[in-house]
Amino acid sequence: MTQSSVALGNDNGNGNVIRLAVSTVIFALRPAKHPSKKWDIVMPVVLRTRDPHEGKWALPGGWLREDEGLAAAASRTLAETTGLHPAYLEQLYAFGAVDRSPTRVVSVLYWALLRADAVQQRATPENVEWFSVDGLWGLAFDHDEIVQYALWRLQNKLDYSGIAQGFLPELFTLSDLREVHEAVLNKPLDPANFRRQVEGSGEIVPTDQFRKGSHRPARLYRTNSEVALASHGPLKPDTQ
């Protein structure tokens, strides 16, 4: 990283710079309209009120400030645009294609899962809409591609982490968890096979509590916190 490479790098000697933005993909569940599943996966997008892409919907985000880390900037811009405050934002990917914006902008994407009650806690600003991710196209910039990548990561992570529990309260039944998997994978799952796989994964721990309802009582489970913590890896929060 020499001084000359600085001139060649982020400032090509003509005053142009590469600007750094952060954006956030928030996934939440909403009761499905279609009878074949219980939940739709929805996400908040913000109406752009000026060019570029004025009038299009875009992921919540904004510019990174010099005095804040990437995750802090993601949290701040998400709160400023949508009023949402997820407990934990995970870095998704840095998108830096030269032509993704009229000016050169590299966007570091974060993502989080929100429980339904966390969404309903506060009123949504009028320029924010929650759309189902099924067939969600026509977003600003390369945000269509970002959403598809985030969905792929979410589906991919179902197989080897306890991420699905991010949609659920602390205690949940196996049916609750299966219905989340069905929403993410967008297909029905066999209850018996699902029970075998999840109980074998060590992701969740049975409690001695049951949910009583119209059917026979269903055992309540909680997330295996050891597995959940491991999935964050060795990064300290201030690294993000």
Verify binding: residue 83, its own copies, rule CB under 8 A. no
- Of 26, 186, 35, which is closest to residue 116 (Cα–Cα)? 26
Q: How far apart are CA 47 and CA 81, in angstroms?
A: 10
Strand partners, 30: 40
Tell me, by CB under 8 A, how many residues bind its own copies. Answer: 53
Touching its own copies, residues 25-64 (CB under 8 A)? 50, 61-64
Verify binding: residue 116, its own copies, rule CB under 8 A. no
Looking at the Cβ atoms of 102 and 188, the one nearer to its own copies is 102
- Of 75, 103, 228, which is closest to residue 157 (Cα–Cα)? 228
Q: How far apart are CA 145 and CA 131, in angstroms?
A: 16
Q: How far apart are CA 214 and CA 107, in angstroms?
A: 49
Q: How far apart are CA 17 and CA 15, in angstroms?
A: 6
108, 114, 119, 220: residue in contact with its own copies (rule CB under 8 A): 108
68, 132, 175, 211: residue in contact with its own copies (rule CB under 8 A): 68
Looking at the Cβ atoms of 127 and 209, the one nearer to its own copies is 127
Task: Name the site residues for its own copies (rule: CB under 8 A).
Answer: 1-2, 5-6, 8-12, 16-21, 50, 61-70, 91, 93-98, 104-106, 108, 142, 145, 148-149, 152-153, 156, 159-160, 233-236, 238-240
